[in-house]
Structure 1
Amino acid sequence: MNRPSIPNGVHPVEQGHYVLPTREVLKLMETLMKTVSNRSPGIIVYGRPRIGKSSSIQFAMRYIPEKLGAPIPIFSTSCNLYRMPSEEKFFLDMLNDFKFPFPSKRKPSNMRSQIVNLLIEQGEKSKLRRVVLIIDEAHRLTELHYNWLIDIYNELDRAKISLTVISVGQEELLSRRTFFLEQKKSQIIGRFMTKEHQFYGIRTIEDIKFCLKCYDQVSEYPEGSGWSFTRYYFPKAFEEGHRLEKCAADLYSLFKDIRREYGLSKSLEIPMEYFAFTVENAMKQGCADDIYWPTQDLWKNAVKDSGYIESEIYMALA
């Protein structure tokens, strides 16, 4: 069977537009499933930068309505950084992220009404009468932001629409919750921070093996073609039984060796972004040089070219 003819730059490995259902993604999906099905008003999802939190949540939320047996409106927004937060900026950013089709007046009360009416309208279309709001960069949310969200939450509650807010951010989210606890801000904690989920990067050989197996079996392009990513980039070796999954132990040792080489002493946690860059680099370079199967040198160069080392050094300094 001949390898599919795909124009240059179109394959997902070239574009980077794919999500692997890693072990962490599956754990997150289970947590979010319980959160939404139990009508919990809010959960915080936190972890170090660049480990794939946001894309994993988007991936998980695509499947949750199917598991619940009914569609659920899902809205996403990001908390942008401003020197002085304001209702106008916050609501306008939300409307823009929601791709609201009509120009909104700049008066905050009008914009809040547009947001509320949109959420109620979509919530009423769902037989479950639920709406999910995902807020990225949620560690930037201040007490003011949460009070504005409470107003929206209360209006939906009066309309008998259940709102679940999924706050996604860095580890500062935990310190933010601690601060609210110390200030006795129960109205914020009770609505948006009662549950938590820590999202991790890749930490074990089993994590690496699971990810590589996805390249071998799960991810394929074109869809339904039977050509997994591994098969497409290393066709001869794949046909003869080679699988990236079997490289897990060597790749794990390589990451640990490189960390020691650069004096990085903290426990291993590879951000998903840089792990994906590593595999993509190995695939693209191997294909370009007509390499039968990834060698140790190819993997080492792929790790270094991914930007992982620079990122870890900066994180250690921070």
Structure 2
Amino acid sequence: MERPNIPAGTHPIEQGHYLLPTKEVLRLMKSISKIVNNRLPGMIVYGKPRLGKTSAVKFAMENLSLMVGAPLPILIANTNWYKVPSEEKFYYDLLQDFRFPFPSKRKPAEMRRQIVNLMLEKAEKSKMRRIVLVMDEAHRLTEFHFNWLMDIYNELDREKISMTVISIGQEELLSRRTFFLEQKKSQIIGRFMTHEHHFMGLRSLDDIRFVLKCYDVPETSSYPKDSDWSYTKYFFPIGYEEGNRLEQEAAHLYQLFVEIRKEHGVSTDFEIPMEYFAFTVETALKMYGAHGDSCRWLTVSQWRECIKLTGYIESEVYMALVHKGAN
């Protein structure tokens, strides 16, 4: 068994650049495909910070064409915060995120036209006359922003192009929708906020087991790509050869999270943000695997140390204090 010769620091685990099809990701993909297949104009995806919403949507977008059965143009933009929002800043930021070759500052109407033309070109090339726009950090979107998006939507609609807007953000997105309901802004809700997806973290032993298995099998994690060297096998080749798998550690990890939460007085519902869970696994593989201490396999005390190093418990305590202060 000859282990691949990969320079230290270049593995996806070491760089933190990888995506896994977790149960929650698959549930989100199903929601998004339903919205897109039915040619619906929009959906909000909301959840607590650090749950991995953006990464999950990115994974879903990369596989969306397979789900709908045809290539589909997708544009992703970040919602930047400004003390005073303006059309010029909003359109300029969109063009920057779309990597428009000449995002020169012009009048807002001209920049909107550039955006519409870019979307028209991409939608027409796909032959589906469809386009998907993903707005990240969408809890920052104001009524002004949604009205500017509506202008783009209407211009595309006149050209018989359908645009679907997926808005990803924190739970404030729901408050924003409630505000629009109270203000009778039905045109905004109807186009962009009628449908919703509550994105959640890991809430059960089964959720944890499912994620850990993704690290074990080359179908969901392999490097070099298309090899049989899963992430687990690469970092613990001897333990893997002896039959050890991260999936088998699920019960230990679940119990450790329960115990650590109890030790620090965290009484909120059990929900582990994917980002902290991924940090835990990455830390274990890097510290104790082939590029670290070269252990044959992981112990419970090592797992506990990895959880503590992620800063998960500090985050939970802080979030509990913020929630308590808000009430």
TM range (shorter): over 0.9
For 1:226, the aligned partner's letter is D
Determine the C-alpha separation between the residues in 1 that align with 2:103 and 2:287: 47
TM-score by length of 2: 0.96
User: Separation in 2 of the partners of 1:314 and 1:118?
Assistant: 43
Which residue in 2 is equivalent to 1:295? 299
Cα deviations across residues 257-281 of structure 1 (Å, max 9, x unaligned)?
Answer: 0011111110111111110110011
Task: State the 4+ residue runs in structure 1 displaced beyond 2 angstroms.
Answer: 103-106
Provide the residue aligned with 2:315 in structure 1. 311
Report the Cα distance in structure 1 between the residues aligned to 2:192 and 2:131, rounded to whole angstroms.
Answer: 14
Shift of 1:68: 1.6
Corresponding residue of 2:201: 201
| Structure 2 partner of 1:80 | 80
Structure 1 counterpart of 2:144: 144
2-side partners of 1:112 and 1:224: how far apart? Answer: 42
1:168 matched residue in structure 2? 168
Aligned to 1:42: 42
Deviations along 1:191-249, whole A, 9 cap, x unmatched? 00110000001110001000000000120110122011111111111111111101101
- Report SS of the residue matched to 1:45: strand
Aligned partners of 1:89 and 1:179: how far apart in 2? Answer: 24
Question: Is this contact kept in 2: 1:45–1:166, CA < 8 A?
Answer: yes
* Cross-structure match for 1:239: 241
Partner in structure 1 of residue 180 of structure 2: 180
Equivalent in the alignment of 2:23: 23
Query: What is the SS of the residue equivalent to 1:196?
Result: strand
Distance in 2 separating the partners of 1:120 and 1:10: 38
Check conservation: 1:46, 1:169, Cα contact below 8 A. Answer: yes
Matching residue of 1:124: 124
TM-score where L is the length of structure 1: 0.99
Letter in 1 for 2:67: K
Asked if 1:263 corresponds to 2:275, the answer is no
State the partner residue of 2:325.
none
**TM-fit CA distance, 1:23:** 0.1
- Pairwise CA distance, 1:49: 0.5
Q: Which runs of 5+ in 2 are unaligned?
A: 323-327
DSSP 3-state at the match of 1:180: helix
Deviation at 1:104, TM superposition (A): 2.2
Q: CA RMSD in A?
A: 0.8
Structure 1: distance between partners of 2:66 and 2:250:
32
What SS class does the counterpart of residue 63 from structure 2 fall into? Answer: helix
Give the length in aligned residue pairs: 318
CA distance in 1, matches of 2:253, 2:106: 53
- 1:101-145 Cα distance to aligned partner (Å, 9 max, x none): 014233111111100111111111112110000000101101011
Query: Contact conserved, 1:70 with 1:127, CA < 8 A, in 2?
Result: no
**2:17 & 2:195 partners in 1: Cα distance?**
30
Cα separation, 2, equivalents of 1:290 and 1:70:
45
Aligned equivalents of 2:154 and 2:94: distance in 1? 17
One-letter code of the match for 1:304? K
Partners of 1:25 and 1:56 within 8 A in 2 = yes
Give the match's secondary structure for 2:132. strand
- Which residue number in structure 2 is paired with residue 62 of structure 1? 62
CA distance in 1 between partners of 2:321 and 2:222 (Å): 39
Does the CA-based 8 Å contact 1:131-1:162 persist in structure 2? yes
Residues 92 and 103 of structure 2 are in contact (CA less than 8 Å); yes or no, is this contact kept in structure 1?
A: no
- Is there any run of 5+ residues in structure 1 with no aligned partner, and where? none
Alpha-carbon distance, 1:33 to partner: 0.4
Amino acid at match of 1:145: H
